[in-house]
Chain A
Amino acid sequence: MIEVRGLTRYYGTTKAVEDLTFSIASNEIVGFLGLNGAGKTTTLKILAGLLLPTAGEVRLDGQDLFSAPLDVRKRIGFLPEEPPLYAEMTVRDFLVHVGLIRGLTREEAESAIPSVAERTGIQEVLDQVIGTLSHGFRKRVGIAQAIVHHPSLVILDEPIAGLDPVQIVEMREMIVGLRATCTVLVSSHILSEVSQTCDRLLILKNGRLAGQGTESELALRARGHARLLLSVRGTREDLARALDGPSEVTGWTVEAEAGAVLTARVDLSGDHAEVVVRRLVEAGVGIRRVVEAEAELEQIFLQLTGEGER
């Protein structure tokens, strides 16, 4: 588990990050979002041990990153946007070297290679010189170096930048697969990818945390209300009978009608799905499907970062 308290970082007199406080549970995949200059990279570099903060603390499994940096760095893997690779080495030699400098014995480093290669899909290039690899494989080797020493926290900065659609899908699966053994912090500009990969989001604005939570929680905050999508068998009158009474329902509209099946959007003042379901049942409406409507991540992002007002 990683806990960040009051993290602040100045570059000279310029404030990059201010009073960031958040925590990430073990085996959680968290997306880190923000506009350029919001402080994402600075924060990731501090968490990876590359930069020191002006103030604040970072604890990994209870251990302070800044008072015991060498111990904590052994348990962190970091992939910057451009993978740090020694082009003249073979993939295998490179991964063994990275394992060794991160504290593994030679036996441990060599025995870690097959499983890391399988998780990142680089078995076929293990004995190839890194300088001859394609961009996609370089990214994979970048992830492999970040996990070869079995870290408990993996930080990935823009892991899908520059990948083609097939590679993006593979990278997404790879990142989700990391959850089995690590906590993962992913920064990306591609919001749909973050949406599909991450359990929770942290949104930065001007160096401060503008919002954090699941996509639904953020949508609730951004819209100011919750929204359900219903698929029911009944008439508009049946729906009106069920939904026009309770104060929890702030509005509703039928979006589609196919025979006796209606698709409707219901806006709520809070998390009151059970009230809607009970009312529908009482009104004799046949419930086929009730789901939470997820806002477009772009809309949440724009609202929380204030860019929607421009």
Chain B
Amino acid sequence: MRGLLLVARRDLQAYFNTAWGYVILAAMLLIDGLLFNAFAMGASAQYSSDVLEKFFYLSSGITMAGAVILTMRLFGEERSAGTMVLLDTAPLTDLQIVLGKFLAGFAMIAILLGLTLYMPALIFVNGKVSLLHIASGYLGLLALGATVTAIGTWGSAVTRGQYVGAGITAVVTVALLLTWMLAKVSDPPLKAILSYVALFDKHFQPFQKGRINIESLVYYASLTFAFLVLAVRGIQGRRWR
């Protein structure tokens, strides 16, 4: 546990010791704010819960994009700077290294989401929403963020270049997002499988509407676990290469 936290702390510091972390957070917040103003608030009168629902819908895209960008450096930066050798020669297990890096990436997503809290708070100026709706929406964003962070950790672990890693993460994420479209044109039992693995359509929408869906939490946790296991397997091979 100690090794894991040391890796996580170093990687989290790395985001803030350079402009990189600030720039990404600022850019994501700016885009989220603009989208919130343009599409969620809108010009016409609407229910506060609808505004909040749209906010979570827009923020889910920002969360996924943020996770893809923030995770590309996890292993790629260490490799390009030649510092991976510090971790490889330290008494750390591969699991500690992967979990530490995942935790750092996920902490950045949590910070990003924490900084968006002012937007739901703005709804209270002219309207009223349930705190449970806000809590469930953020729980969904965190679960979605953890899943894409795990995909990004794997993408970064198994590729040499940062941009290649980000590209693979983006492709896998988009593929998981679009399986619901394939489900529409598929026959059972493939239809049910494709519908179930859809990253957003089936699993995020309940949170967006204010419902905490245990089945979806299990789905996100399972996907996160699976990609972290793949990331560990991915870096284990380096001592044989």
The interface of chain A, by Cβ under 8 A from chain B, is 11, 48-52, 69-71, 73-74, 76, 78, 80, 82, 84-89, 97-98, 100-103, 145
Which residues of B47-96 have CB atoms within 8 Å of chain A's CB atoms?
Answer: 81-93
A88–B18 touching, CB < 8 Å: yes
Name the B residues within 8 Å of A101 (CB-CB).
Answer: 3, 6-7, 10, 86-87, 90-92
Per-residue contact bits, chain B 1-28, to A (CB 8 Å; 1 contact, 0 not): 0010011001001100110000000000
A246 to chain B, nearest CB (A): 54
B17–A51 touching, CB < 8 Å: no
Name the A residues within 8 Å of B13 (CB-CB).
Answer: 89
5 A–B pairs (Cβ distance < 8 Å), ordered by A:
A49-B88, A51-B239, A73-B91, A84-B81, A101-B10
**Which 3 A-B pairs give the minimum distances between C-beta atoms?**
A88-B17, A70-B91, A101-B90
B240 to chain A, nearest CB (A): 6
Name the B residues within 8 Å of A52 (CB-CB).
Answer: 239-240
Name the A residues within 8 Å of B239 (CB-CB).
Answer: 50-52
B14–A50 touching, CB < 8 Å: no
The residue on B at minimum CB distance from A72 is B91
Tell me which of A73, A86, A87 contacts B90 (CB under 8 A).
Answer: A73
A88–B88 touching, CB < 8 Å: no
Query: In the assembly, what is the distance between CA of A80 and CA of B13, in Å?
Result: 24
Name the A residues within 8 Å of B10 (CB-CB).
Answer: 86, 97, 101
Name the A residues within 8 Å of B241 (CB-CB).
Answer: 11
A76–B6 touching, CB < 8 Å: no
Tell me which of A50, A88, A89 contacts B89 (CB under 8 A).
Answer: A50
A84–B93 touching, CB < 8 Å: no
A76–B17 touching, CB < 8 Å: no
- Total A-B residue contacts, Cβ distance less than 8 Å: 63
- Extra contacts, 4 of them, besides A48-B89, A101-B6 (Cβ < 8 A), are A84-B81, A84-B82, A86-B14, A98-B86
Name the A residues within 8 Å of B93 (CB-CB).
Answer: 70
Name the B residues within 8 Å of A89 (CB-CB).
Answer: 13, 17
Known: A70-B91, A73-B91. A82 touches B6 (CB 8 A): no
The residue on B at minimum CB distance from A11 is B241
Tell me which of B3, B83, B92, B240 contacts A86 (CB under 8 A).
Answer: B83
Query: In the assembly, what is the distance between CA of A100 and CA of B81, in Å?
Result: 20
A82–B86 touching, CB < 8 Å: no
A88–B240 touching, CB < 8 Å: no
B221 to chain A, nearest CB (A): 28
B89–A76 touching, CB < 8 Å: yes
Name the B residues within 8 Å of A78 (CB-CB).
Answer: 85, 89
A142 to chain B, nearest CB (A): 10
Tell me which of A50, A97, A103 contacts B85 (CB under 8 A).
Answer: A50
Query: In the assembly, what is the distance between CA of A88 and CA of B86, in Å?
Result: 15
A31 to chain B, nearest CB (A): 21
B89–A73 touching, CB < 8 Å: yes
B83–A102 touching, CB < 8 Å: no
B82–A50 touching, CB < 8 Å: no
Known: A52-B240, A87-B81. A103 touches B86 (CB 8 A): no
The residue on A at minimum CB distance from B92 is A101
B6–A71 touching, CB < 8 Å: no
Name the A residues within 8 Å of B3 (CB-CB).
Answer: 101
Name the B residues within 8 Å of A98 (CB-CB).
Answer: 86, 90
B83–A85 touching, CB < 8 Å: yes
Known: A89-B17, A97-B6, A100-B6. A84 touches B91 (CB 8 A): no
B98 to chain A, nearest CB (A): 15
The residue on A at minimum CB distance from B93 is A70
Query: In the assembly, what is the distance between CA of A89 and CA of B11, in Å?
Result: 11
